[in-house]
Amino acid sequence: MSVVPLDVSTLNPRQSEAVLHPGGPLMIVAGAGSGKTKVITTRIARLINEGCPPYRILAVTFTNKAAKEMRERIEHLVGDRAKDIWMGTFHSVCARLLRMDGAAIGIDRNFVVYDDGDQLTLVRDLLKAKGMDDKSLQPRGVLAEISRAKEKLMGPEKYSENASGFFERAVASIYKDYQARLNAANALDFDDLLFKSVRLLEQADAVREKLQEKFLHVLVDEYQDVNFSQYRLADLIAAKHRNLTVVGDDDQSIYGWRGADVGLMMRFSIDHPDATLITLDQNYRSTERILNAAHAVVRHNRSRNDKQLWTDKGAGALISIGEVGTENEEAIVVVNTIQREVRTGRRNYGDFSVLYRTNAQSRAVEEAFLTRSVPHILLGGQRFYDRKEIKDMIAYLRLVWNPLDEVSLRRIINVPARAIGPGAITKIEEHANKNAISLLRAMQDSAFQQEFNKKTQSGLKGLTALIEDAQMMVAAEVPVTKILREIMQRSGYLDELRADRTEEAQSRLENLQELVNVTAQFDARQEEDKSLGAFLEGVALISDIDGLKDDADGVKLMTLHSSKGLEFPVVFLLGLEEGVFPHSRALGSDSELEEERRLCYVGMTRAQEELYLTYARRRSQYGQANFNARSRFIDDIPREYIDQMVGTTMETPPINRTGMRLEQMRTGEYAITDTTSAEKPKPSWTPPFNVGQKVTHKKFGIGIVVACNPVKGDAEVTVAFPGAVGIKKLMQSFAKLEAV
């Protein structure tokens, strides 16, 4: 394989400084579009060219897709040697470490990874079993708390010691049992992958020394989105050679809700006083106007080190802003704009992307795209592996691989229906507990099987025999596809779907066929490990952004979060409304509002040449009409950068957030043809409060109005209160809210 000689002449001085940095801790603050991937890949190539063996380099990225791209780019520079670099997400790297050396802290190498659906099922189960099915203990909330504890490297015991108050005590008790259930099931959740890896390095001296010796260079991308356990892990692995390179941008920190802590970026320089700091502030992606507008938005954040990017791309086009009536009109404006540009030959479909705050917003756009035949690629929303039928099949496979996996067993024990109902399950549980055996073992006990009625007996026998046969196939190293086919057939899953002649069943069958294609591809891989375990791990750690092909000629639809790291010639940013973006959940908290603002910055800086921002006066949320004021982010953009979008109305001067008048609902000079929804005349109704206004409630105190809606002669006011109270929907006649 021919190797291109390393060429640093195309790099700017700061970039080449980062590439050539000899060793020791290095922090690269890389603004949006500043060529950071180029810097990382060139740096790694340089290290390899200078004699560092590829397998002694560890590079951690945020998504598998980023890792794959990076590997390919390095391959161009150094050839096949790139294959041996340890490269992947924190989670995939950890899974690999734990399979390799986890035994040192008692982790079975065949562990399965529980995704958040599995986690949720488990927590729900525990809550029910403990009779704690209270409103105050929502499974999601409990799980988030456990996750936060794990991110801070707090095990159940440590958490329990520090727990105070009703909620924390309850969580402490669930956390303990939750972890016990994971252990019993030979399963790790996402957070465990990190947590246990840190424990492995801390507690197993031999393993730590081996790994610290092994990795000469450690590089971490997207460092602003690292949580404490990830921070600790990177530090531990790099402790010996101290060649730790971290790359991040504090303005693009958007995963605070997942435990990421930008503060750790500051801490890096404290923990590594000798660290070199390099800032990349030349942007190679966007025009001046886009850059300046994005900066104008993010500049409002108080906790932020100011950094203004510059570009030599020139001013570029104005930023288009459009006010529309509803989300359907919004979608139509997008379609019209795209089709006009494509028709005139100025753009291809692949040049466009449509970004939004929440997945639910994609629907209106997708519908419009479908009816108007706009080719598009939707990512996110329901992931392929989150579909019911896929999860069911994966559950079968996981159970076959790991017979202790209780969550999976419970999922499919009666799917398709085989006469094992709630009563039978309770009986099986009791038998399992009494004899200290797993649920599956209990079901296999033929003497015990006699205690059930005929139908249930044959159900039990059928399922256990199927699992046993499949296990033998695994032992015989039969390809995954064949095992999957056997299960789909013999479980009766296929027959049940085929008998159901609905469109839904049809689509489920197609999805299952797609799953078979996935396993077939897996079986055909050239790589080493083709075991069922390896397949299942890939499934657990994959995200759908990983599969995005950027060169496909279709409009890309995704959430703002998914768009991080990507770029597009033209970007539409939808739903710039208070309560949508910024999201209603963020309105009550300054730090969350700052994160929303950064998210807006991320979205805007995805655009290379053109940026469109839209907001709707009326939007259906939770199947109900809401009148949201337009987003504060729009008002942060200097007027001289703004152009009104063709085909929309826009109030001039801008309506302020406190004034929202229904008479603004005129269609404007450009008629918008909305074929999807017939516009109904609006009731003449004046909301008692304006969105964003502060109000006080007798019991809850001061809160911020998120939305007002008419409800037959009364007003339903949604208010965000700080702290544990959260979002409340209140009837004005009853709650007697008062403006502050």
Partner DNA sequence: CAGCAATCTCTTTTT
Partner DNA sequence: GAGATTGCTG
Catalytic residues: 36-37, 221-222, 252, 606
Q: Which is nearer to DNA, 246 or 473 (CB)?
A: 246
* Distance of closest approach, residue 739 Cβ to DNA, in angstroms: 26
d(CA 467, CA 395): 11
DSSP string, 636-691: HS-GGGEEEPTT-B--SSPPPTT---GGG----SS-----SSPPPPPP----SS-T
Is 375:554 a contact under the CB 8 Å cutoff?
A: yes
Q: Which is nearer to DNA, 138 or 667 (CB)?
A: 138
Among candidate residues 96, 27, 491, 481, the one with its CA nearest the CA of residue 278: 27
* Distance of closest approach, residue 531 Cβ to DNA, in angstroms: 21
Binding residues for DNA, rule: CB under 7 A, are 62-64, 89-92, 115-116, 124, 138, 140, 190, 254, 257-258, 357-360, 380, 388, 414, 417-424, 455-456, 459, 541, 543-546, 558-559, 561-562, 583, 585-586, 592, 620, 622-624
Q: Which is nearer to DNA, 363 or 372 (CB)?
A: 363
Name the strand (E) or helix (H) holding 27.
Answer: strand 26-30
DSSP string, 564-622: TT--EEEEEE---BTBTTTBGGGTT-HHHHHHHHHHHHHHHTTEEEEEEEEEESEEEET
Q: Copy the structure tokens of residue 277.
A: 């700091």
DSSP string, 161-218: HH--HHHHHHHHHHHHHHHHHHHHTTEEEHHHHHHHHHHHHHH-HHHHHHHHHH-SEE
* Distance of closest approach, residue 360 Cβ to DNA, in angstroms: 5
Bond into 416 cis (ω within 30): yes
d(CA 214, CA 555): 44
Bond into 375 cis (ω within 30): no
* Distance of closest approach, residue 289 Cβ to DNA, in angstroms: 27
* Distance of closest approach, residue 473 Cβ to DNA, in angstroms: 26
Q: Which is nearer to DNA, 366 or 609 (CB)?
A: 366
Q: Which is nearer to DNA, 212 or 457 (CB)?
A: 457
Cα angle at 402 between 401 and 408, to 5 degrees? 100
* Distance of closest approach, residue 193 Cβ to DNA, in angstroms: 8
Q: Tell me 61's DSSP state.
A: E
Q: Copy the structure tokens of residue 23.
A: 């060793």
Within 8 A by CB and 6+ apart from 345, the residues are none
Among candidate residues 244, 252, 251, the one with its CA nearest the CA of residue 274: 244
* Distance of closest approach, residue 564 Cβ to DNA, in angstroms: 9
Q: Which is nearer to DNA, 64 or 402 (CB)?
A: 64
| Residue 152, Cβ density class (10 Å: 0-12 exposed, 13-18 middle, ≥19 buried) | middle
* Distance of closest approach, residue 255 Cβ to DNA, in angstroms: 7
Q: How far is CA 579 from the centre of its chain?
A: 20
* Distance of closest approach, residue 310 Cβ to DNA, in angstroms: 29
Which residue do the tokens 């700017």 mark? 12
Q: Which is nearer to DNA, 186 or 562 (CB)?
A: 562
Within 8 A by CB and 6+ apart from 427, the residues are 451, 452
d(CA 88, CA 20): 23
Q: Determine the 3-state secondary structure of 717 from DSSP.
A: strand
Report in angstroms the alpha-carbon separations of 594 from 253, 254, 301, 697. 10, 9, 6, 26
What is the β-pairing status of strands 701-711 and 694-697?
A: antiparallel
Q: Determine the 3-state secondary structure of 375 from DSSP.
A: coil
Q: Which is nearer to DNA, 320 or 631 (CB)?
A: 631
Q: Which is nearer to DNA, 317 or 625 (CB)?
A: 625
* Distance of closest approach, residue 424 Cβ to DNA, in angstroms: 3
Instruction: Report, in angstroms and rounded to the nearest whole number, the Rg of the chain calculated over CA atoms.
Output: 28
Q: Which is nearer to DNA, 116 or 510 (CB)?
A: 116
* Distance of closest approach, residue 35 Cβ to DNA, in angstroms: 23
Q: Which is nearer to DNA, 68 or 313 (CB)?
A: 68
Is 188:196 a contact under the CB 8 Å cutoff?
A: yes
